[in-house]
């Protein structure tokens, strides 16, 4: 009769649905505190999962709203603010009711979690694309126009064309597709969140490569943003080819 | 795991619950021609015939404690058969309890229903 706790844990982890409910009811009545604890932990885990699914469902409200138009694509950008490196844009079309747990605005995730999600998004997406516009072009046409260009490039690299774009509070002038600008879209739409992760991870990986090319600046650490260490290095070594001249003017370069 | 097995797991859970409440389990899944009883237990001076009702998740509809008249009749018949077969002294007080399991909550309704009128 006396099952080992490890066996109980295994059984609980293997079970699902009605069967799991029944086992939980059983072990909650177990005379051993250890078994009751396992059941309690499993119940908490279930509650957390349910809450996560609920959060994701709320993040699909705009997708549901526009799904009747056809394929819905999220668009977002990374790297508008830094003093160096390119601006990157992501475009992601997710399948209807696609579940990617813990998918969220890239700014709210750890680098490790973003890397994981980056893979999962590419696996599950109907289509995904990324656009990159470099510092030279940013200086030439300004950051806003460069961001639009990167977004167009991202859309152009999708293997199927979307019918609706969900944007994070911008409207891309060059695009004919219907666009919906959502304020704080990266935290309110799964597609925009996915696009933000594609953009962020792609850009961060590029910055890590630039860090090897120009090791003086620490691009792998601050990704080109204007941290104290970065500005210090700029003062000491002057700008390198990936610095945005139009941005560092203000710092006297 | 099929429905039958799931039911058995819930019966085991209810049995463990009754034991923690100080009952002694006499029978598990007692069945005869007239009907069946999930658990038979001794609770102090009382002999308890318990029906285990469970509802997983948050389905709507009647509460898990609802036992319909047909079921009450089958339980009553089986109880009388058990009393006769085990020659339980006629002065032993008996009771029909329902153990209601709903998500993480387990409740016991003592004397949930009386002996079915057709058996009196």
* Span of A79-93, A96-110, B97-111 with lowest mean pLDDT: B97-111
* Helix residue ranges per DSSP H, chain B: 3-20, 69-85
Measure the CA–CA gap between A163 and A155, rounded to whole angstroms: 11
Q: Which of B80, B73, B112 is nearest to B96 (CA)?
A: B112
Domain range holding B40?
3-119
User: Is a pLDDT exceeding 80 seen at residue B35?
Assistant: yes
What tokens does A114 get? 């973003």
Region class of A184: left (phi > 0), else alpha (psi between -120 and 50), else beta: left
The total number of structural domains in chain B stands at: 1
Structure token pair of residue B72? 């009450």
A116 has a pLDDT exceeding 70: yes
Residue corresponding to tokens 């319909």: B68
Q: What is the mean pLDDT of residues A126-151?
A: 96
Q: What is the pLDDT of residues A166-224, one digit of tens each?
A: 999 999 999 999 999 999 999 999 999 999 999 999 999 999 999 999 999 999 999 99
pLDDT score recorded for residue B62: 56
At B7, which CATH number?
3.40.1350.10
In the stretch 101-130 of chain A, residues with CB closer than 8 A to chain B read none
CA A138 to CA A141: how far, in whole Å?
A: 6
Name the average pLDDT for chain B.
89
According to the model, what pLDDT value does residue B61 have?
53
B56:A30 CB<8 A: no
Q: Do A21 and B12 touch (CB under 8 A)?
A: no
Residue in the block written with tokens 């006629």: B90
> For B1-18, what is the mean pLDDT?
88
Interface of A with B in 40-69 (CB under 8 A): 43
Question: How high is the pLDDT of residue A233?
Answer: 93
Instruction: DSSP for A151-172, please give it.
Output: HHHHHHT-SS--SEEEEES---
User: Number of A:B CB contacts under 8 A?
Assistant: 49
Q: Which fold has domain A61-203?
A: Nucleotidyltransferase; domain 5 (3.30.420)
Q: How close, in Å, is residue A24 to chain B by CA atoms? A: 8
- The pairing of strands B94-102 and B46-55 is parallel
> Could you say which of A15, A26, A31 has the minimum Cβ distance to residue B13?
A26
What is the predicted pLDDT for the residue at B56? Answer: 59
Q: Contact at 8 Å (CB) between B52 and B99? A: yes
Residue B63 confidence class, pLDDT cut points 50, 70, 90: low
Q: In Å, how far is A33's CA from the nearest CA of chain B?
A: 13
Instruction: Determine contact, residues B37/B49, Cβ cutoff 8 Å.
Output: yes
pLDDT in tens, A58-81: 999 999 999 999 999 999 999 999
Q: Which of residues 6-25 of A touch B (CB under 8 A)?
A: 15, 17-19, 21-25
A173 touches chain B (CB under 8 A): no
Residues 6 or more apart whose CB falls under 8 angstroms from that of A3 comprise A11, A35
| Whole-number pLDDT of residue A141 | 95
pLDDT at A213: 94
Sketch the domain layout of chain A as residue ranges: 5-58, 61-203
Residue A33 contacts B where some CB pair is shorter than 8 Å: no
* Per-chain mean pLDDT for chain A: 94
């Amino acid at each position: 009769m006396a099952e080992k706790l490890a066996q109980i844990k295994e059984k609980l982890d293997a079970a699902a649905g009605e069967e799991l409910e029944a086992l939980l009811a059983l072990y909650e009545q177990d005379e051993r505190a250890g078994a009751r604890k396992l059941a309690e932990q499993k119940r908490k885990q279930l509650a957390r999962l349910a809450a996560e699914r609920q959060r994701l469902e709320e993040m699909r409200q705009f997708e549901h709203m526009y799904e009747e138009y056809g394929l819905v694509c999220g668009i977002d950008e990374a790297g508008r603010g830094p003093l160096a490196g390119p601006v990157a844009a992501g475009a992601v079309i997710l399948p209807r009711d696609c579940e990617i747990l813990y998918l969220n605005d890239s700014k709210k995730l750890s680098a490790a979690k973003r890397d994981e999600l980056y893979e999962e998004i590419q696996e599950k997406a109907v289509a995904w694309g990324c656009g990159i516009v470099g510092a030279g072009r940013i200086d030439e046409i300004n950051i806003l126009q460069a961001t639009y260009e990167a977004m167009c490039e991202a859309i152009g690299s999708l293997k199927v064309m979307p019918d609706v774009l969900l944007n994070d509070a911008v409207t891309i002038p060059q695009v004919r597709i219907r666009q919906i600008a959502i304020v704080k879209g990266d935290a309110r739409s799964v597609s925009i969140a996915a696009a933000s992760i594609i953009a962020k991870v792609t850009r961060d990986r590029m910055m890590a490569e630039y860090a090897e090319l120009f090791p003086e600046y620490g691009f792998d650490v601050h990704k080109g943003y204007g941290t104290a260490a970065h500005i210090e290095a700029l003062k000491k070594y002057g700008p390198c080819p990936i610095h945005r001249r139009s941005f560092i003017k203000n710092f006297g370069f | 795991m099929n429905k039958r097995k799931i039911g058995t797991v819930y019966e085991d859970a209810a049995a463990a619950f009754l034991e923690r409440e100080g009952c002694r389990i006499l029978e598990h899944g007692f069945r005869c021609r007239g009907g069946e009883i999930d658990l038979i237990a001794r609770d102090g001076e009382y002999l308890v015939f318990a029906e285990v009702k469970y509802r997983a998740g948050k389905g709507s509809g009647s509460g898990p404690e609802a036992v319909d008249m047909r079921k009450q009749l089958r339980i009553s018949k089986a109880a009388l058969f058990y009393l006769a077969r085990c020659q339980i002294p006629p002065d032993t007080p008996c009771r029909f309890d329902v153990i209601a399991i709903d998500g993480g909550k387990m409740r016991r309704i003592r004397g949930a229903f009386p002996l079915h009128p057709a058996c009196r």
